Amino acid sequence: MQIIGYETLIRGGEPNASYGAKEVFARAKTWGGVQALDQKIRDLQVQAGIPLLTPPQRLFLNLSPQAFNDPTWNVIHQFGKQIVLEISEHAKVGESDIAWLQTFRAQGVHIAIDDFGVGRSSLQTIAALRPEYVKLDMSFVQNGDFETVRRMRRLAEDWETTLIVEGVETKEQARCVLDAGVRYIQGYFFGSPFFLTVPP
């Protein structure tokens, strides 16, 4: 098994509860701290995640919509060739956003479309971005729709991009995805999330 990268996620927490990124940013929005929080999280993800990598592995970072055209992405200048920016298919991506992303690509950053198949991304967006990776939403595997997985693999070949199938949690699901001709898989079957600590 070859590991091509790691995806970093954020979780908020209180003594008796935890919540995901959507809730974290919703809370930050109430006090006007979304951009500052996004920048801080990004810096922490890079500090904790980059040391895990063995070249040519990359760190996959989820790009929040509020980060588009943010001039504070200084980490890109230092670690660009080790980073993949994941853009949710639910995000609205305009021409200015595409131009902004292309400046990062010139520094070695790769682009991924996340949760593909359930959001708003159009073929025009994919044609404009030409992402290095397309991550197929986990719902297709969870629903046993492996024929769509097979079709998406063919489309990815036509787009000259790498398809990553998300949500693989069992040996049988892994077998079906591999039988569909997919080489890259993400899911609990291969490893569960673990907490990262930031180096001092």
Give the per-residue pLDDT at 122: 65
Per the CB < 8 A criterion, the answer to whether 24 and 10 are in contact is yes
- Residue 70 domain-assigned (yes or no): yes
Range of the domain at 153: 5-185
Per the CB < 8 A criterion, the answer to whether 185 and 165 are in contact is yes
- Residue 157 domain-assigned (yes or no): yes
- Residue 200 domain-assigned (yes or no): no
Number of domains making up the chain: 1
- pLDDT tens digits, one per residue of 12-25: 766 566 677 778 77
Q: In the structure, what pLDDT confidence band is assigned to residue 97 with cuts at 50, 70 and 90?
A: confident
What CATH number should be reported for the domain holding residue 64?
3.20.20.450
Give the per-residue pLDDT at 15: 52
The predicted model gives 95-107 an average pLDDT of 88
- Residue 193 domain-assigned (yes or no): no
Per the CB < 8 A criterion, the answer to whether 25 and 34 are in contact is yes
- Residue 174 domain-assigned (yes or no): yes
Give the per-residue pLDDT at 170: 98
- Looking at every residue in the chain, the average pLDDT score rounds to 87
Give the per-residue pLDDT at 179: 98
Give the per-residue pLDDT at 13: 65
- Residue 199 domain-assigned (yes or no): no
- Residue 196 domain-assigned (yes or no): no
Give the per-residue pLDDT at 120: 64
- Residue 190 domain-assigned (yes or no): no
Write the DSSP string, 129-144: H--SEEEE-THHHHTT
Q: Which three-class secondary structure state does DSSP give residue 20? A: coil
What residues pair up with 115 in beta bridges, in sequence order?
A: none
Q: In the structure, what pLDDT confidence band is assigned to residue 117 with cuts at 50, 70 and 90?
A: confident
